[in-house]
Structure 1
Amino acid sequence: MPWYHGWNVVFAGLVFQAVSFGVALYCFTFFVEPWSSEFSVGRGEIMVIFFILQGAMGLLAPFAGRAMDRLPIRALVCGGAVSLALALVLAARATALWQLMAIYGSFVVGGTLLAGPLAAQTLTARWFTRRRGFALGISTVGTSMGGFFLPPLVTWLQAEYGWRDANDILAVGVVLAIVPLSLLVIRNAPRPEESVIERHAAVASAGAHPGISPGSRAWTVKAVFGEPTFWFMVIAFSLFSLVNGGLQQNLAPFGLDHGIDARDTAWVMSAMALLMALWKVVIGALTDRVEVRWIFVFSVAAVLLAMLLMSTSLTFVEFGMVGLLLGVASAAHLPLLAAIVSRHFGTASFGLVMGLIGPFSTLAAAGPWIAGEIRDTSGSYDAALLVFAALLIPALISILLLKLTPVQRNPAVANAA
């Protein structure tokens, strides 16, 4: 059977997600202490930048989603890379905290929205019918790749050159890593002759995924908002993301409180990201076979165990275990959400539905700020852990109320696959 270009598209998505999310999100925690010292502000004030970043990403996500459904994604991804590179260059010349807030609330938002998971998942959903969950699972590995490769690189650059020069170096790397590959590989959808490869397996797809809505249906905003499934997703995944984001973005400062320096934390985050990458592929495959609600419940249990460890006096080994547990939990977010959206809403409006979830995900932006403010006020993260544990309760209730057509495997289809 000839090589399917869809896998090249998935690879390109892995790269641009790794770079954009690795630089903007996974490495944000390593800028907290340098910025805090240079601008003489507390951790809570620094976390306002992250709040603005995620909040703006959420508010603008519907527009990005609509653009993914209507415009060449290749051009959008390249534009996102340029936006992120410009943000890094401008941030390197910032003289006040408000300037960083403005940069992260505009240019960094453009980079992460246009050259991030929304573009990669939209492309993957269009290019794959058979084993779509598996392909989406691989696609979401890109963000974890960024978490694996970027933290050691960024902390090394900061130690050798300072955070400002490190930003300039990263800006060049962003453009070189994303733009040429995207121009060569990305197309919005397969050509008719390429579709034949997937079409031969499409007969199996209906048997493997009876709950997937036809990709040809175009949902309106009103129809999406009228679906209970949409609102259960919003509540469950927004709260789950709030907790995970709050813990991860405070991981480096939390480590410092326990005598663990930034470079050691960087290696923990890399291990966490590697586990996330592997676990996302597993989860992506499981969504083709297993009830997604129970995968979500398992992931919440991992977060609770991580917070239980964080409430004690940590050794480096226990700190590493926290990172790994958070990796297991965080890995579930994108594959599960993408699987639910593609199964219930189909692929024609995939970008729209994912984008509409965005404004509600701005709630997740409060997580790092909540934890940072509580730490600045009380001197520890203990109260923040209790707040996060309480927020996971409505998330669990919402996911358990979610109604999806059960996945049924046809033995004949499974053998053919």
Structure 2
Amino acid sequence: MSTDAATKDKVVSKGYKYFMVFLCMLTQAIPYGIAQNIQPLFIHPLVNTFHFTLASYTLIFTFGAVFASVASPFIGKALEKVNFRLMYLIGIGLSAIAYVIFGISTKLPGFYIAAIICMVGSTFYSGQGVPWVINHWFPAKGRGAALGIAFCGGSIGNIFLQPATQAILKHYMTGNTKTGHLTSMAPFFIFAVALLVIGVIIACFIRTPKKDEIVVSDAELAESKKAEAAAKAKEFKGWTSKQVLQMKWFWIFSLGFLIIGLGLASLNEDYAAFLDTKLSLTDVGLVGSMYGVGCLIGNISGGFLFDKFGTAKSMTYAGCMYILSILMMIFISFQPYGSSISKAAGIGYAIFCGLAVFSYMSGPAFMAKDLFGSRDQGVMLGYVGLAYAIGYAIGAPLFGIIKGAASFTVAWYFMIAFVAIGFIILVFAVIQIKRYQKKYIAEQAAKANAK
């Protein structure tokens, strides 16, 4: 590089880089929060208004997850070629349009299409967009912390979005929470405008570095590479993805994670539909807000738990928290409408469930590397995440089917069985894989010494 070119380069301050992190966090809190986190709150009002079954309506989460998973790799490739701000605005626009479609729909296909568009749109600015921004501003040191802060935005958004959503729904509903139905589809248009306006404002400021901007000094980059090389020298290289697919314990592990997904889908997608039959909309909003607090603590503590106690103990802890949360739901199912103890149990559910959220948020990434090594880490992350995603996609409509055939109480019994069995299978498989890993490392060391 010439001297003239070097003088034109600008070193970006840490403050500005963390302003980008804040914008990512705000993206998670509001646009993503509206696009994804508040949708479960609309289930009961819509099911009552249009006389859908719970199982048929909750298929929106299945269709949305499947189409977003398929679209995600293509969106990731497009980010390499298209201006990020344009991609961000496309995603915001799609999510806002999806809420308009929600607002004008009266039949299930309309809601399914809206859910697909909404979730695919959120992939532009959240699933792919946020990591894209963070990775560019933090190419070396501080990337993990920045990602953690950014994704905490979703939990922070829940704290105020959940009660706000319930307050808006209450204004446009008639009847009690058990039988109440919407008198207007205005809430969808309100959130479409809010998502679009906030998203466009964020888009005015969020960006990736320009060519003449230096985001990390040569010294920091050299130090980071040195630390990375030292870490790689110590880490378990592991097996290739082909070798892993031939391991029976990998398949048992995947089966466990899939069964866990069956149980956890209801906790994330159907909790509001159930609580609406036992608590006022205001109290359900409070429970949602406390869930946001629990998720915030759970996301922050999850990394510490994995680092300190390893996969088996951390996932055992998560399983216990989920079982406690479902027990709270079963307890509430036996209480009369409006019971004060149901409100307390609902808050208990929210905290317990939130504390364990790391098991499927940061869990797959940690487990893929910890159990199978770093050799094909990206591929293994896909395999591990796919098992949970399949279970999750089936779990939401399955809960509705069981509820429709029996009751919410029976459905919760099934979910607690899925969670307990799934975590037992997964933890047992983890223990066996770690034993096999130690044996493999010892054999490799013996071969190396023999040479």
Structures share fold, TM-score greater than 0.5: yes
State the Cα deviation string for residues 350-386 of structure 1 (Å, max 9, x = none): 6x87667665524311222121211111113223332
State the match for 2:3 in structure 1: none
Could you tell which deviates more after superposition, 136-145 or 67-76?
67-76
For residue 275 of structure 2, the aligned residue among 243, 250, 255 is 255
For residue 364 of structure 2, the aligned residue among 337, 353, 362 is 337
Secondary structure in 2 matching 1:92: helix
CA change 1:338–1:201 in 2 (3 A) is: farther
Q: Please say if residues 291 and 350 of structure 2, whose CA atoms lie closer than 8 Å, have aligned partners that are also in contact.
A: yes
Deviation at 1:92, TM superposition (A): 0.6
CA–CA distance in structure 1, aligned partners of residues 130 and 242 of structure 2: 24
Q: Please say if residues 74 and 188 of structure 1, whose CA atoms lie closer than 8 Å, have aligned partners that are also in contact.
A: no
Which blocks of at least 5 consecutive residues in structure 2 are unaligned?
1-11, 173-181, 336-341, 439-451
CA change 1:322–1:25 in 2 (3 A) is: same
State the match for 2:418 in structure 1: 387
For residue 65 of structure 2, the aligned residue among 47, 51, 54 is 54
Amino acid at match of 1:155: Q
Which blocks of at least 5 consecutive residues in structure 1 are unaligned?
215-222, 406-417
Deviation at 1:42, TM superposition (A): 1.8
Q: Please say if residues 104 and 185 of structure 2, whose CA atoms lie closer than 8 Å, have aligned partners that are also in contact.
A: yes
Deviation at 1:36, TM superposition (A): 1.0
Correspondence 1:277-288 to 2 at 5 A: 277-284=296-303
Root mean square deviation of aligned Cα: 3.6
Deviation at 1:181, TM superposition (A): 1.9
State the match for 1:108 in structure 2: 118
Deviation at 1:132, TM superposition (A): 4.1
Q: Please say if residues 58 and 359 of structure 1, whose CA atoms lie closer than 8 Å, have aligned partners that are also in contact.
A: no
Could you tell which deviates more after superposition, 386-395 or 203-212?
203-212
Secondary structure in 1 matching 2:214: helix
Amino acid at match of 1:373: I
CA change 1:195–1:4 in 2 (3 A) is: farther
State the match for 1:320 in structure 2: 347
Residues 1:271 and 2:299 aligned together: no
Amino acid at match of 1:305: L
State the Cα deviation string for residues 275-304 of structure 1 (Å, max 9, x = none): 211331232455566534433332122112
CA change 1:358–1:396 in 2 (3 A) is: closer
Could you tell which deviates more after superposition, 278-287 or 108-117?
278-287
Identity, % of aligned pairs? Answer: 18
CA–CA distance in structure 1, aligned partners of residues 255 and 321 of structure 2: 19
CA–CA distance in structure 1, aligned partners of residues 367 and 82 of structure 2: 24
State the match for 1:376 in structure 2: 404
Could you tell which deviates more after superposition, 88-97 or 205-214?
205-214
State the Cα deviation string for residues 323-362 of structure 1 (Å, max 9, x = none): 1111011134222334456885599x96x87667665524
CA–CA distance in structure 2, aligned partners of residues 74 and 342 of structure 1: 32
State the match for 1:28 in structure 2: 39
CA change 1:291–1:5 in 2 (3 A) is: farther
Deviation at 1:111, TM superposition (A): 1.8
For residue 245 of structure 1, the aligned residue among 265, 270, 277 is 265
Amino acid at match of 2:363: L
Amino acid at match of 1:181: I
Residues 1:366 and 2:394 aligned together: yes
CA–CA distance in structure 1, aligned partners of residues 193 and 98 of structure 2: 12
CA change 1:187–1:340 in 2 (3 A) is: farther
Secondary structure in 1 matching 2:194: helix
For residue 169 of structure 1, the aligned residue among 176, 190, 200 is 190
State the Cα deviation string for residues 79-118 of structure 1 (Å, max 9, x = none): 111100000011111121221112212x112222222234
Could you tell which deviates more after superposition, 230-239 or 39-48?
230-239
CA–CA distance in structure 1, aligned partners of residues 132 and 236 of structure 2: 16
Amino acid at match of 2:281: A
State the match for 1:408 in structure 2: none
TM-score, normalising length: structure 1:
0.80
CA–CA distance in structure 2, aligned partners of residues 237 and 183 of structure 1: 40
For residue 199 of structure 1, the aligned residue among 221, 225, 230 is 221
Secondary structure in 2 matching 1:195: coil
Corresponding residue pairs, total: 393
Amino acid at match of 1:295: S
Residues 1:157 and 2:168 aligned together: yes
CA–CA distance in structure 2, aligned partners of residues 31 and 237 of structure 1: 28
Amino acid at match of 2:266: G
CA–CA distance in structure 2, aligned partners of residues 261 and 281 of structure 1: 31
CA–CA distance in structure 2, aligned partners of residues 341 and 66 of structure 1: 23
Could you tell which deviates more after superposition, 233-242 or 177-186?
233-242
Secondary structure in 1 matching 2:265: helix
Secondary structure in 2 matching 1:394: helix
Residues 1:186 and 2:217 aligned together: no
State the match for 1:124 in structure 2: 134
Q: Please say if residues 254 and 426 of structure 2, whose CA atoms lie closer than 8 Å, have aligned partners that are also in contact.
A: no
Deviation at 1:394, TM superposition (A): 3.1
State the Cα deviation string for residues 147-187 of structure 1 (Å, max 9, x = none): 22221121222222456211111112112222332342221
State the match for 2:24 in structure 1: 13
Q: Please say if residues 293 and 399 of structure 1, whose CA atoms lie closer than 8 Å, have aligned partners that are also in contact.
A: yes
TM-score, normalising length: structure 2:
0.74
CA–CA distance in structure 2, aligned partners of residues 190 and 198 of structure 1: 19
Deviation at 1:124, TM superposition (A): 3.2
